[in-house]
Structure formats: structure tokens, C-alpha cells
């Protein structure tokens, strides 16, 4: 089963614009992770945010976490065509040996 649920399912923007993707989950978590997947390739880990953190930055990426709403958002600023990919959030239930992924958001950045 999948716990993280991303929205929107698909997002199309112009190069230079910002892209925001959201993720909701259902149970308590230790941390939440965002991944990117280019078509036909494996996942690339982007950023991990712990349950006691509210915001984290990495380059053009900004992740927020609201544990009261059980939601997270991934913001990509100044998007580029190379950012075109599917983005997944995953809740880490490591101690239960169970990584759960949402269905992902397909981001298309038009040049």
C-alpha cells in the first residue's frame, strides 16, 4: 500500500517559473523524503526532512513539513527543462522495514 499521496498528479510550467508539489500522509512518521525519477531510471534522493523540522533547503529546493496537517511540500524555484521528471514523497517507517511511496507528481518544464 502507499501512504504518501502527491498532488497535483501532473504539473506543466515554463522554464524559470516555480513548481510546488504537495504530499499528504496518514500516520506518524520519523521523517519524510522527496525523490526524483527521470523516465525509465531509478530514484534519486533529493532531500530528507525529519519530523521535528519544519523547513529545509537544498539549492533550488525547499521542503516544508507540517506534522499537524500530515503534509509536506516541495518547491523548486527557477525551474529548468532538466527538472522535468516525476517527483515522489516517501514516509520512512524504517523501524517497521517499510518504505512507502506515493504515486508521484509528473512535472514538465517547458523551455
Interface with another protein by CB under 8 A: which residues?
A: 30-31, 33, 35, 37, 39-45, 48, 50, 86, 90, 92, 94, 97-99, 101, 104
Q: Which is nearer to another protein, 104 or 107 (CB)?
A: 104
Distance (Å, rounded) from C-alpha 62 to C-alpha 102? 19
Residue 74 CB, shortest distance to another protein, in Å, is: 14
Q: Which residues of 35-73 are buried (b: 16+ CB within 10 A; e: fewer)?
A: bbbeeeeebeebbbbeeeeeeeeeeebbbbbeeeebbbb
Residue 16 CB, shortest distance to another protein, in Å, is: 27
Distance (Å, rounded) from C-alpha 108 to C-alpha 37? 12
Q: Which is nearer to another protein, 15 or 61 (CB)?
A: 61
Residue 7 CB, shortest distance to another protein, in Å, is: 16
Q: Which is nearer to another protein, 41 or 69 (CB)?
A: 41
Q: Is 83 helix (H, G, I), strand (E, B) or coil?
A: helix
Residue 12 CB, shortest distance to another protein, in Å, is: 18
Report yes or no: 25 and 32 within 8 Å, Cβ to Cβ.
Answer: yes
Amino acid at each position: 500500500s502507499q501512504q504518501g499521496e502527491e498532488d497535483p498528479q501532473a504539473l506543466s510550467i515554463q522554464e524559470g517559473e516555480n513548481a510546488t508539489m504537495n504530499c499528504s500522509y496518514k500516520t506518524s512518521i520519523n521523517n519524510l523524503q522527496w525523490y526524483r525519477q527521470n523516465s525509465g531510471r531509478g530514484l534519486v534522493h533529493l532531500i530528507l526532512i525529519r519530523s521535528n523540522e519544519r523547513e529545509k533547503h537544498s539549492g533550488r529546493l525547499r521542503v516544508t513539513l507540517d506534522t499537524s496537517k500530515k503534509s509536506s511540500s516541495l518547491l523548486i524555484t527557477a525551474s529548468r527543462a532538466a527538472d522535468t521528471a516525476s517527483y515522489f514523497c516517501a514516509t520512512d517507517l524504517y523501524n517497521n522495514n517499510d518504505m512507502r511511496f506515493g504515486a508521484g507528481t509528473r512535472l514538465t518544464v517547458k523551455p
